[in-house]
Amino acid sequence: MKFGDRVRALRKAKGWSLRVLAEKVEVGFTYLSRVENERLNFGDYPSDALIHRLADALEADDEELLMLAERVPDRIRKRVLQRPDVFGVLANCDDKMLDKVMGTIGRDATRKRK
């Protein structure tokens, strides 16, 4: 899913018009329309600050929106820099292997909570 599509879906789930959301995040509704339609100059995404305001207003995961905007959230960036070896290996995995890793991680996390 693209960033603009996700913002639109979240906005519509709230039953808000572009004008309502634009007012809540303090931008013009025409700018927000360009965001949703991925029609910003040179394909740019909004600033991190606006992405955080959108996430707050839409009660969405700001890390998800940041990643859809092709930005790496600080929490993830810090962990990658701490363990580049692990993330280098993960980057070479195909989807089937990543699904297997996620299944294992999920089971381990469940065991630790008990």
pLDDT at 35: 93
Distances (CA, A) of 44 to 61, 65, 71, 80, 114: 20, 14, 11, 24, 45
Q: What is the pLDDT of residue 107?
A: 63
Tokens of 107: 């089971």
Contact by Cβ (8 Å): 65, 73: no
> Residue 114: pLDDT above 80?
no
Per DSSP, the three-state class of 40 is coil
Q: Which of 58, 45, 76 is nearest to 16 (CA)?
A: 58
For 40-93, the pLDDT digits (tens) are: 876 577 899 999 999 999 999 999 999 999 899 999 999 999 999 999 999 999
Query: What architecture is the 3-74 domain classified under in CATH?
Result: Orthogonal Bundle (1.10)
Share of the chain above pLDDT 70, in %: 91
- pLDDT of 113 reads 42
